[in-house]
Structures are given as structure tokens and as C-alpha cells.
């Protein structure tokens, strides 16, 4: 395997709604910041890869607008995934592993705020025969999963409130966070349910932001990271697994896909999730954290979502990418030697990716 | 700060959708107010009918006629929204149909009373007044009352 690592990461502030900028305007300064930090031109980038959803834009090929901030002339090598841009990182990482080039830029642009009623959009992402026609409540499948976890004794409502309180307190130190604050658990538990046992704060807030990550290979990565005054965060392993989509077809209390992806990533990296200092987890709901901790085998003492995680900011389809960027930044700033980044896609954590990152010895 | 141009839009899928051969049989069964399951790998019975076994990805096999009765295995309580067919708060739930090995995702109506819901609650299908061959031919599930007889179809018989 080639050594491939993160050499730059930039993100815009997570806003509940950005009505002043279009997609290209949100993205352009973030790309400029990431590229400028490396002292290179956009023409020095061999591959561009992005992730976004048409659903929230309400039109096909919505992401084309974002290419205005990439500058696609003369023609560039470019690709896109119709899902969280964490999977665009996976594509770019694979592309670099194949020796197609040395530098790749990945971006995620999310504008979850565009829909006046997110409930009218969320069900269109589901199976068209058995689920979408019922237009379930936006949080229905997550609510079922949380209730099943409580019934199985995996977590409690108080523990979920503690996850929220810790995340929002951590987000006080994150200038990009959309939500942050000091909250007492008993105050959180006094809030009404939106889909029992979930309350509004148990769900990551939809919002608008962009994130950009630059990957580079081998000595080119060392050279670029040195220019940026940071350490490369080597991605030692990436693996993703998908379960069946129908929520009645699988045990919602167990994340077998995470277990398998973690085992495969461990073999590839030569170290396990239990060996990391920091884990950035794609928790679209508070109840995902205890499930992921269990499936990944993270010991007590692992720092979870020091950025505040998705409960503090959730720009649709950039959220998983931000987990990779935040994990890389913890290695770059020396607060972690090894880090894990998790990303998820689909209802009730259907599809999961585990990435293991490591700094230089 | 200026704001970008906006325009309203409505999401819709205004096209006929082709269903798979087995899902088609299942939906045609609903039109006749019959609930079918299908045999998956290792003899597991799947309801609703799947084209492929969710664990092994093998094509599913024979159909099994099931009583439209089952047990709630998980639920979440929500307020109704304008598009919902129920006016009072209800549950989204997983219901294990008697004789099936997986669970059915649908609404459960307890007349707006969340205290009636529990894991193990026995429920039966409430059919729509007019059935068209869609998952919406089932309006919801509702609690089985003690004095009503079980369904008429013998469990496990071929349709």
C-alpha cells in the first residue's frame, strides 16, 4: 500500500441556514483556504472528488453548481458520490492507492436547510415500495432504534442526555459549531419527545456548510504538510460495509457492519480502534454513540467527538467528511497519535465506514 | 446581507413504478386483503415479502399465507402530521407477524394513548376502505381485543 495522508482540512461555519450564498459561494473560500495553506495552485491537484445529495436541493445533478468553485477548465479529473463526502475520501484514497496521481482534493457541501419541511424530503431517501409511500416521520426509524436500545439495556435516557451535554460542552471550543452550550442533564430530560425516546437535541441539527480535505501520497504528502506547518495524518486503513435497508430485516440494536469494517480496518492498519486516542463518530443521533462504542470496542478513556461531533453541527453530506478532517487535525496538532473516523449513511446506521489514522513515528 | 433567489417547489414521484415479481405478488395480495410472506434462506419466513434474502442475498422461494396479526417488537411515539392518515398521536413500530421471522414497519394506532404500547403488544392489520395494491392498503395496525377471534387463514398454508 502507498502511504496516503491528510495534509489539509478546512471547513466553513455550520449555519442553521445560509440564505446569502449559493453552493459555489459557500464552497469557494473553503477550497481557497485549504489549497493556500499548502502553498500550491489548484492546477497542482490531480483529482477532485465530492459528495452531496440532490434530495435537499430538489433538482438533479445539483452539485454541478459547486464545480464553479473548483475551476474545471482546462478539463480536470473529477468524480462525485451521491452520499456523504466521507465516501468521496474513500474514492480519492483508492485512486491514490492505484497510483493515478499524488494529490487529491475532496469536498462536501451540505445545504440541509433548503427544504421548508424536511419531513417531505427525508422519506424520499427510503425504499419506494414499503417505506416511502408511508412517508414516515423524519425521526421515526431512529426513534425505533433508540427505543429498542433502551429495551435491550444498552443505554438509558439519562445516558443519551449525557452524550448531548458532553457534545455541546465540547462544541464551545469549536468555532464552526452550530450548537454549543452548557446544559444540565435534568434540563435536557425535561424537554418533550419528538419521536420517543428521542428529543429535539438528540438529533443532529440540519444545516449548511462546506468542508474540504486534501490528501497526498508519500513524500509529496510530507512536503506539502511541512509547507502547511503540520504533520501528515496517514490513513492506514479504510473499510465500509452495508447492511440491508429494511429496518425490520436486521437487529437494530447491533451494528454488525461496524464490527466487520473495524475488523477489516484493524488487519489493514496493524492497530485496532481500541488503540486510538481520539474517535470522531458520525452520530446523527445521540443513541448512535453507545452503539458505536460497543461495536468498535472503544475502551473507557477514548476521547469521543472532541469537536462536539454531529450533534453540534450537521451539514448534510459533509458531516462524515468533517469527522475525517477533525480526526486528522487532532493528529496534526499533536493531541492524538492515532485516531478513528467513522461515517454513516442510510437509515438506522445502515452503511458504515471505519477509517484508522496515524501520525508519523 | 443580501439573500439569494428562492423559489418554492414540491417533491413528487409522478410516475408508475414497476415492482419486482415477488413484491408485486405481495402488493396484489394486499389488494385482496391477504397478507403473504415468502420463504427466504434456511426456511426463514419474511413479511413483508422480499425479492432476495436480506442475509444471504439468495432469491426468495415459496409464498406463505399469514394471519394479519402480530406482535410489536419496537416502537416510537409521534404526533401526526398533515399527510398522515391518523388524526391523533400514534406509533411507528416494528411488528413481527405471527409465523414470520422478521418485522414489518408500519403505524400502530392505540387511539392516541401511548401507555397502551409495549413490546409484546398484540396487534392486527386495519385495512383501508379501498385497496389498490399498495403498502397503504394497510392503514395501520391496531391492538387485538381480547374477545375477537384469531384470523381465518391457517398459518403456513400455501396461498
Q: Do B81 and A119 touch (CB under 8 A)?
A: yes
* pLDDT over 50 at B46, yes or no: yes
Residue A153, chain B, CB below 8 Å: the answer is no
A167 near A311, Cβ under 8 Å? yes
Residue A151, chain B, CB below 8 Å: the answer is yes
pLDDT digits (tens, 9 = 90+) for B83-121: 899 999 999 999 999 999 999 999 999 999 999 999 999
Read off the C-alpha cell for A35.
Answer: 489549497
Q: Do B3 and A19 touch (CB under 8 A)?
A: yes
What residue has cell string 453548481? A65
| R_g (Cα) of chain A, nearest Å | 19
Measured in angstroms, the CA of A111 and the nearest CA of chain B are apart by 13
Cβ–Cβ pairs < 8 A, chains A and B? 110
Read off the C-alpha cell for B11.
Answer: 417533491
Residue B22, chain A, CB below 8 Å: the answer is no
Residue B116, chain A, CB below 8 Å: the answer is no
End-to-end CA distance of chain A: 18
Residue B66, Cβ neighbours under 10 Å: how many?
25
Q: Does the bond joining B48 to the residue before it have cis omega, within 30 degrees of 0?
A: yes
User: For residue B156, what pLDDT is reported?
Assistant: 44
DSSP string, A85-128: THHHHHHHHHHHHTTS-SEEEEEEEEEGGG-S-HHHHHGGGS-T
Give the pLDDT band of residue A114 (cuts 50, 70, 90): confident
Of A20, A124, A246, the CB nearest to B4: A20
Q: Do B27 and A249 touch (CB under 8 A)?
A: no
Measured in angstroms, the CA of B154 and the nearest CA of chain A are apart by 24
Query: If contacts are CB pairs under 8 Å, which of residues 94-113 in chain B contact chain A?
Result: 94, 102-107
User: For residue B1, what pLDDT is reported?
Assistant: 55
What residue has cell string 486528522? A328
Helices (H), chain B: 21-31
Question: Could you give the 3-state DSSP secondary structure of residue A327?
Answer: helix
* Better pLDDT: A58 or A38: A38
Query: CA torsion angle for A289, A293, A294, A298 (degrees, to 10)?
Result: -170
Q: Do B4 and A19 touch (CB under 8 A)?
A: yes
Instruction: Please give the Cα distance from B50 to A288 (Å, whole number).
Output: 27
* pLDDT over 80 at B148, yes or no: no
* pLDDT over 60 at B154, yes or no: no
What residue has cell string 429496518? A247
User: For residue A57, what pLDDT is reported?
Assistant: 77
Which residues have a Cβ under 8 Å from the Cβ of A237 and sit 6 or more positions away? A264, A265, A266, A267, A268, A269, A354, A355, A356
Residue A100, Cβ neighbours under 10 Å: how many?
14
**Region A312-339: what's the mean pLDDT?**
97
Measured in angstroms, the CA of B4 and the nearest CA of chain A are apart by 5
User: For residue B15, what pLDDT is reported?
Assistant: 81
Give the pLDDT band of residue A61 (cuts 50, 70, 90): confident
Measured in angstroms, the CA of A228 and the nearest CA of chain B are apart by 33
User: For residue B29, what pLDDT is reported?
Assistant: 98
Q: Which residues in chain A are contacts of B74 at CB distance < 8 A?
A: 144-145, 147-148, 151, 252
Query: If contacts are CB pairs under 8 Å, which of residues 43-62 in chain B contact chain A?
Result: 46, 48, 50, 54-55
User: For residue B145, what pLDDT is reported?
Assistant: 85
Q: Which residues in chain A are contacts of B107 at CB distance < 8 A?
A: 134
Mean pLDDT, chain A, as a whole number? 95
User: For residue A263, what pLDDT is reported?
Assistant: 98
pLDDT cut 90: percent of chain A above it: 87
Q: Which residues in chain A are contacts of B54 at CB distance < 8 A?
A: 244, 246, 249-250
Give the pLDDT band of residue B157 (cuts 50, 70, 90): very low
Q: Which residues in chain B are contacts of A196 at CB distance < 8 A?
A: 76-78, 114
* pLDDT over 50 at B155, yes or no: no
Instruction: Please give the Cα distance from B133 to B156 (Å, whole number).
Output: 22
B124 near B109, Cβ under 8 Å? no
Residue B154, Cβ neighbours under 10 Å: how many?
10
Task: Of A333, A330, A305, give the one whose Cα is nearest residue A320.
Answer: A305
* pLDDT over 70 at A208, yes or no: yes
Measured in angstroms, the CA of A242 and the nearest CA of chain B are apart by 11
Residue B67, Cβ neighbours under 10 Å: how many?
18
Q: Nearest residue of A to residue B80 by CA position?
A: A137
Instruction: Please give the Cα distance from A300 to A357 (Å, whole number).
Output: 20
pLDDT digits (tens, 9 = 90+) for A120-135: 888 888 999 999 999 9
Mean pLDDT, chain B, as a whole number? 90
B124 near B141, Cβ under 8 Å? yes
pLDDT digits (tens, 9 = 90+) for A9-43: 999 999 999 988 989 999 999 999 999 999 999 99
Residue A190, Cβ neighbours under 10 Å: how many?
10
* pLDDT over 60 at B152, yes or no: no
Q: Do B76 and A58 touch (CB under 8 A)?
A: no
Beta bridge partners of A11: A211
Instruction: Please give the Cα distance from B47 to A180 (Å, whole number).
Output: 43
Q: Do B48 and A145 touch (CB under 8 A)?
A: no
Amino acid at each position: 500500500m502507498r502511504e496516503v495522508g491528510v495534509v489539509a482540512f478546512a471547513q466553513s461555519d455550520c449555519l442553521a441556514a445560509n440564505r446569502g450564498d449559493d453552493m459555489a459561494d459557500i464552497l469557494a473560500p473553503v477550497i481557497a483556504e485549504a489549497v493556500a495553506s499548502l502553498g500550491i495552485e489548484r492546477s497542482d491537484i490531480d483529482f477532485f472528488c465530492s459528495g452531496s445529495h440532490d434530495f435537499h436541493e430538489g433538482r438533479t445533478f445539483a452539485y454541478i453548481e459547486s464545480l464553479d468553485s473548483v475551476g474545471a477548465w482546462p478539463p480536470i479529473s473529477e468524480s462525485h458520490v451521491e452520499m456523504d463526502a466521507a465516501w468521496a475520501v474513500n474514492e480519492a484514497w483508492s485512486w491514490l492507492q492505484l497510483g493515478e496521481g499524488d494529490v487529491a482534493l475532496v469536498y462536501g457541501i451540505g445545504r440541509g436547510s433548503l427544504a421548508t419541511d424536511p419531513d417531505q424530503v427525508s422519506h424520499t431517501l427510503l425504499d419506494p415500495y414499503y417505506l416511502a409511500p408511508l412517508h414516515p416521520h423524519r425521526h421515526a426509524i431512529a426513534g425505533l432504534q433508540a427505543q429498542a436500545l433502551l429495551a435491550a439495556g444498552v443505554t438509558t435516557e439519562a445516558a443519551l442526555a449525557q452524550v448531548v451535554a458532553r457534545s455541546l460542552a465540547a462544541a464551545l471550543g469549536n468555532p464552526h459549531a452550530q450548537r454549543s452550550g452548557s446544559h444540565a442533564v435534568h434540563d435536557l430530560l425535561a424537554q418533550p419527545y419528538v419521536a420517543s425516546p428521542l428529543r429535539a437535541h438528540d438529533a443532529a441539527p440540519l444545516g449548511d456548510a462546506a468542508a474540504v480535505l486534501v490528501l497526498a501520497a508519500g513524500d509529496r504528502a510530507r512536503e506539502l504538510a511541512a509547507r502547511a506547518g503540520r504533520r501528515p495524518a496517514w490513513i492506514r486503513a479504510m473499510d465500509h460495509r452495508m447492511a440491508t435497508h429494511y429496518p425490520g430485516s436486521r437487529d437494530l440494536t447491533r451494528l454488525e457492519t461496524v464490527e466487520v469494517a473495524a475488523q477489516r480496518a484493524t488487519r489493514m492498519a496493524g492497530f485496532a480502534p481500541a488503540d486510538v486516542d481520539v474517535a470522531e463518530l458520525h452520530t446523527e443521533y445521540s443513541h448512535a454513540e453507545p452503539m458505536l462504542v460497543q461495536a468498535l470496542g472503544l475502551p473507557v478513556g477514548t476521547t469521543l467527538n472532541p469537536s462536539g461531533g454531529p450533534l453540534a453541527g450537521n451539514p448534510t453530506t459533509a458531516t462524515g467528511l468533517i469527522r475525517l478532517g477533525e480526526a486528522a487535525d487532532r493528529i496534526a496538532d499533536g493531541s492524538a497519535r492515532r485516531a478513528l473516523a467513522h461515517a454513516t449513511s442510510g437509515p438506522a446506521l445502515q452503511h458504515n465506514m471505519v477509517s484508522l489514522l496515524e501520525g508519523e513515528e | 446581507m443580501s439573500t439569494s433567489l428562492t423559489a418554492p417547489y414540491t417533491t413528487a414521484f409522478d410516475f408508475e413504478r414497476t415492482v419486482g415479481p415477488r413484491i408485486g405478488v405481495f402488493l396484489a395480495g394486499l389488494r385482496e386483503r391477504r397478507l403473504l410472506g415468502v420463504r427466504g434462506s434456511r426456511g426463514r419466513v419474511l413479511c413483508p415479502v422480499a425479492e432476495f434474502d436480506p442475509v444471504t442475498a439468495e432469491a426468495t422461494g415459496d409464498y406463505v399465507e399469514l394471519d394479519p396479526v402480530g406482535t410489536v417488537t419496537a416502537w416510537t411515539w409521534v404526533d401526526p402530521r398533515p399527510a398522515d392518515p391518523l388524526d391523533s398521536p400514534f406509533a411507528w413500530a416494528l411488528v413481527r407477524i405471527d409465523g414470520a421471522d422478521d418485522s414489518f414497519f408500519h403505524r400502530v394506532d392505540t387511539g392516541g394513548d401511548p401507555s397502551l404500547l409495549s413490546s409484546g403488544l398484540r396487534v392486527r392489520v386495519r385495512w383501508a376502505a379501498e385497496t389498490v395494491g399498495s403498502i397503504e392498503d394497510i392503514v395501520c395496525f391496531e391492538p387485538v381485543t381480547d374477545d375477537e377471534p384469531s384470523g381465518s387463514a391457517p398459518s403456513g398454508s400455501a396461498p
